[in-house]
Amino acid sequence: MNNASGSKSNQLEQLKQFTTVVCDTGDFESMREYQPQDATTNPSLILAASGQEQYSYLIEKAVEDHASGSLSGQERVDSVINHILIAFGKEILDIVPGRVSTEVDARLSFDVSGTIELAKRLIDLYESGGVDRDRVLIKIASTWEGIQAAEQLQKEGIHCNLTLLFSLPQAIACADAKVQLISPFVGRIYDWYKKSTGKEYSGAEDPGVRSVQEIYQYYKKFGYPTEVMGASFRNVGQIIELAGCDLLTISPSLLGELQSATEPIEKRLDEQAAKDVDLERIHLDEKSFRFALNEDAMATEKTAEGIRRFAADMRKLEDLVREKIDALVA
């Protein structure tokens, strides 16, 4: 596989021929370097970026512009954080040609109305800033309540990215809810099985890779339009095994590895081939969804752990904002 100059294409260039590449970071410079189509963020990435000098101006400006007025206490902190999320999102959309994913507070993962309310607020802020809602994906945890909230938001033209997804039942419920996109977490599935079995996994044997393959095949077999975006990678091998997936969201370090390698990549996931796989359709209501998830120890534990981690980082971001507000009004 050669480019126009006759030199070998690197693996990132090859991957982009099969799959839409998304950058999983809050680092704008990485996005400029690797030129992804879309970008994803979460509270952990925003928190990490906020500690870097080149991004602190976004935090400072949000505090200065939105810490005054009639709001006080937690409402003031919430308002500033919402504006920080939108500020990062708008900067990202100035770099990538596609969409940005912005996450709702993980503490709302079991609150349907609260998730809907915050998602609408975030979209309103984007639109008031001149950003079309079609360029924004609202990230919501793949709990039963999160999926129900996303179903309602999709009906109102707000596109959703269902994150913290570790199992086929979660993926099926998301597809039935007609969400725009799901983010199955390859690396965290791998982590769980490696810890629980003491085994190393690679290639097609990797349980995280197999989970995304299973979801992809199910979606294409039954004609679901929901996009599959593999996420949370631990190594380049996992990415290569999923070449052909609708989208893959990749950290800057792994994008760098792909860009510096030239070994050939083959398309591993194919929509037409998936349609020929022998699968039975699965029907889920709330009771069967909750039981199926409960039967999967890995998915149950990793979903809960992910929510706790994102919630903890949101609290840290709140503490940072609160300190800056106090310093400003002192």
Q: What is the pTM of this model?
A: 0.94
Q: Quick check: helix, strand or coil at residue 162?
A: strand
- Between 269 and 46, name the one with better pLDDT: 269
Catalytic residue among 90, 139, 302, 324: 139
The predicted pLDDT at position 79 comes to 94
* Arithmetic mean of pLDDT, 115-138: 98
The predicted pLDDT at position 330 comes to 67
Q: Are 182 and 142 in contact (CB under 8 A)?
A: yes
The predicted pLDDT at position 5 comes to 44
> pLDDT tens digits, residue range 264-287?
999 999 999 999 999 999 999 999
> pLDDT tens digits, residue range 210-251?
999 999 999 999 999 999 999 999 999 999 999 999 999 999
Write the DSSP string, 56-79. Answer: HHHHHHHHHHHSSSS--HHHHHHH
Other beta carbons within 10 Å of 109: 25
Q: Locate tokens 């939105």: which residue?
A: 66
In three-state form (DSSP H/G/I as H, E/B as E, the rest C), the secondary structure along 42-56 is CHHHHHHHHCCHHHH
Q: Find how far residue 307's CA is from the centre of its chain.
A: 13
The predicted pLDDT at position 189 comes to 98
Domains for the chain: give ranges and CATH numbers.
20-329 (3.20.20.70)
Give catalytic status of residue 139 as yes or no.
yes
Would you say the C-alpha torsion 123, 128, 132, 136 has a positive or negative sign?
negative
The predicted pLDDT at position 4 comes to 46
CA 102, CA 139: separation in Å to the nearest integer?
6
The predicted pLDDT at position 2 comes to 47
